[in-house]
Structure 1
């Protein structure tokens, strides 16, 4: 057997960097993670069920909103079971195929968040700045085109990203991260990753320019329309809705971009990178159903009615 074949004869099991917590703190962290996961599952599932079940909520804004809990469930399920297993058993190992699947769905989740929030910002822009043309512009056919564009473009970009990754030979089995993602998997490769790096930077740049550009434009137009509106109540409602939306977007953007660039900064603390990466996967799915569910009057009222029906029926 040649030296080259020995070089690439690596284990199908990958080793992960652990959280390095004492057993008592690991149990506390496991309980916290399990509770957080259950809250995410319940709140996002209930929000999804409420919108689907109530025909009164079948408007463009709420149909776009349906995509957010679906995506949150994808991201949380890709990460939380793995975190809980690692905290409980301290295994620090994962099969290569499972790692690829986890990384793929984590990246699908991350890109979908900004795409969905951008689509929702566009919807609010039409509703506030062009209210008389809202039903014409946000027709069912146009709405389906927006949703298809959000998901199809996301999946195509990620499939190409991981095809480029899987074509490369692997000669290492240790991931310098607590979960799997594309930058960590690229560190296992002993070959030229220039094409992968260029593609990753290009899609990151394009996604950022398109999403951030559209959101800044729509929010600027919304602010102008709000200050021109003489109705104080209408202005405050619009600013409250858009303000919370923008905070979620900004929070995810900061955490996500910091995580991406942390792999390219050698002197950065690995603990800080772990925290930002996990926080980007935990905070938005926890806050989204609260902000877009409980703070939206139509959803809150219909959710309470649905909950009361279930209680009385039992």
Structure 2
């Protein structure tokens, strides 16, 4: 594809730099990873939908997180696997914009849903007697709807600023379509895109970091003051895994943003973008489902009944 094509309706994705002998092993690895993401996250979602006892604020947040993980990886991984084994990596401009929109929606919602979950843990640990009145199903629904609608609105503006640009290139220098790769196709002045994109990222990340820092500081103060070993143990177990996952996600997000602004270490940026999608989506069901007594009990009951049926 000629890189000088003007406003070409067909683009080419650069994809992952995989040596020829590793193409099929990498494909199989990504396929297995994607199937695990689908099975575990959809399993958690179905369990929450079908069991009325699990339709509580905390589990509704689990549902939102799992839905986001399935959405983000379904948008990216199937296309990425196709590009690894195919010699034709062409994609229509409209489909590329759609992929960029949903992949950015996934990234933004990761942070907004995590913020709600951090607040949920803060209320549960620091104000247990007021938990049901503060984190009611209606409140969780409002917070979740606000998180998704805010992300979608701001991202619509972000992609709208990119779509208005004319294009003088046709190669997406990434493993999949994203906003920065799309506006880099233009030979026009993209200062507005850079300013809005960086401002959006700065506001989102600072809000996310500020929220998590505040809630975890208050949780730490509460644990120290209460001096209840059992409560502190549960709080540490819950918060440590949440914080570890959050820091991995945050580090990958920073790498993507920084490396997009500097034309170096292109392969590192691609790897960071891929890890941002697959690590949280694989760890979330384990961390939030299997460490939650009610969900773990339901899963064990289902597995036990299946084994009895087979016998």
Offset at residue 220 of structure 1 (A): 0.3
What is the rounded CA distance, in whole Å, between the counterparts of 2:85 and 2:133 in structure 1? Answer: 53
**1:276 matched to 2:272:** yes
Spell out the pairing of 1:52-201 with structure 2 (5 A cutoff). 52-201=49-198
The residue number in structure 2 matching 1:306 is 302
Range with greater deviation from structure 2 (204-213 or 17-26) = 17-26
What is the rounded CA distance, in whole Å, between the counterparts of 2:295 and 2:140 in structure 1? Answer: 20
What is the rounded CA distance, in whole Å, between the counterparts of 1:168 and 1:8 in structure 2? Answer: 14
Offset at residue 141 of structure 1 (A): 2.4
SS at match of 1:263: helix
Tell me if the contact between 2:104 and 2:155 (Cα under 8 Å) persists in the aligned partners: yes
Range with greater deviation from structure 2 (210-219 or 268-277) = 268-277
Offset at residue 293 of structure 1 (A): 1.4
What is the rounded CA distance, in whole Å, between the counterparts of 2:205 and 2:265 in structure 1? Answer: 25
**1:287 matched to 2:289:** no
Consecutive unaligned residues of structure 2, counting only runs of 5 or more, are none
Tell me if the contact between 1:8 and 1:169 (Cα under 8 Å) persists in the aligned partners: no
The residue number in structure 2 matching 1:37 is 34
Offset at residue 200 of structure 1 (A): 0.9
What is the rounded CA distance, in whole Å, between the counterparts of 1:291 and 1:129 in structure 2? Answer: 21
Tell me if the contact between 2:68 and 2:110 (Cα under 8 Å) persists in the aligned partners: yes
Spell out the pairing of 1:200-239 with structure 2 (5 A cutoff). 200-239=197-236
Offset at residue 313 of structure 1 (A): 5.7
Residues 67-118 of structure 1 show CA distances to partners (whole Å, capped at 9, x for unaligned) of 0000000011011111110112132222211111111110000000011011
Offset at residue 185 of structure 1 (A): 0.5
**1:16 matched to 2:6:** no
What is the rounded CA distance, in whole Å, between the counterparts of 2:289 and 2:245 in structure 1? Answer: 14
Q: Runs of at least 4 residues of structure 1 off by over 6 A?
A: none
What is the rounded CA distance, in whole Å, between the counterparts of 1:169 and 1:8 in structure 2? Answer: 11
What is the rounded CA distance, in whole Å, between the counterparts of 2:11 and 2:309 in structure 1? Answer: 50
Tell me if the contact between 2:5 and 2:170 (Cα under 8 Å) persists in the aligned partners: no
Offset at residue 219 of structure 1 (A): 0.3
Consecutive unaligned residues of structure 1, counting only runs of 5 or more, are 1-6
Tell me if the contact between 2:23 and 2:85 (Cα under 8 Å) persists in the aligned partners: yes
Q: TM-score, normalised by structure 1?
A: 0.93
Tell me if the contact between 2:6 and 2:169 (Cα under 8 Å) persists in the aligned partners: no
Offset at residue 24 of structure 1 (A): 2.7
What is the rounded CA distance, in whole Å, between the counterparts of 1:307 and 1:170 in structure 2? Answer: 54
